[in-house]
């Protein structure tokens, strides 16, 4: 499959958006890429003893250290030897997941994000 350039803007024409989306190879490539990345992620984390969690996209505890007026600070952790920072929106449930399963190496999740 090859990806057409530039990025297709099928949404600009609402009347034809669906038919253009279904016939444009860009979106087929995007769907395939998503599946490959998800599958590889599950394999890598599973091999490391880290289990996947399904988290709600929004919770009552959503906040962002970058948000104006936020009193929270980023939480740093190590992932494969690298420093990473957890977003508050998933952090609390990930912490719960770790506590529910002390016999595993950790937990992870993959979610759509528009931040």
CA angle in degrees (0–180, nearest 5) for 109-114-56: 40
Has this prediction a pTM greater than 0.75?
no
Rounded distance between C-alpha atoms, residue 80 and residue 23, angstroms? 40
CB atoms within 10 A of CB 26: 17
pLDDT of the chain along its 115 residues, tens only?
A: 665 567 788 888 889 989 988 998 988 998 899 899 999 999 999 999 999 988 755 544 445 555 555 666 666 777 778 877 666 667 777 888 888 888 989 888 887 664 4
Per residue, the 3-state secondary structure of 40-55, as one string, reads HHHHHHHHCCEEECCC
């Amino acid at each position: 499959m090859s990806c057409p350039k530039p990025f297709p803007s099928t949404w600009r024409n609402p009347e034809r958006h669906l038919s253009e989306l279904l016939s444009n190879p860009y979106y087929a490539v995007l769907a395939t890429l998503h599946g490959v990345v998800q599958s590889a992620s599950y394999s890598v984390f599973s091999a490391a003893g880290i289990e996947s969690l399904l988290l709600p996209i929004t919770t009552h505890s959503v906040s962002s250290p970058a948000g104006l007026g936020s009193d929270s600070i980023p939480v740093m952790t190590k992932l494969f030897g690298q420093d990473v920072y957890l977003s508050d929106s998933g952090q609390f449930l990930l912490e719960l997941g770790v506590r529910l399963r002390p016999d595993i190496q950790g937990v992870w999740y993959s979610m759509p994000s528009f931040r």
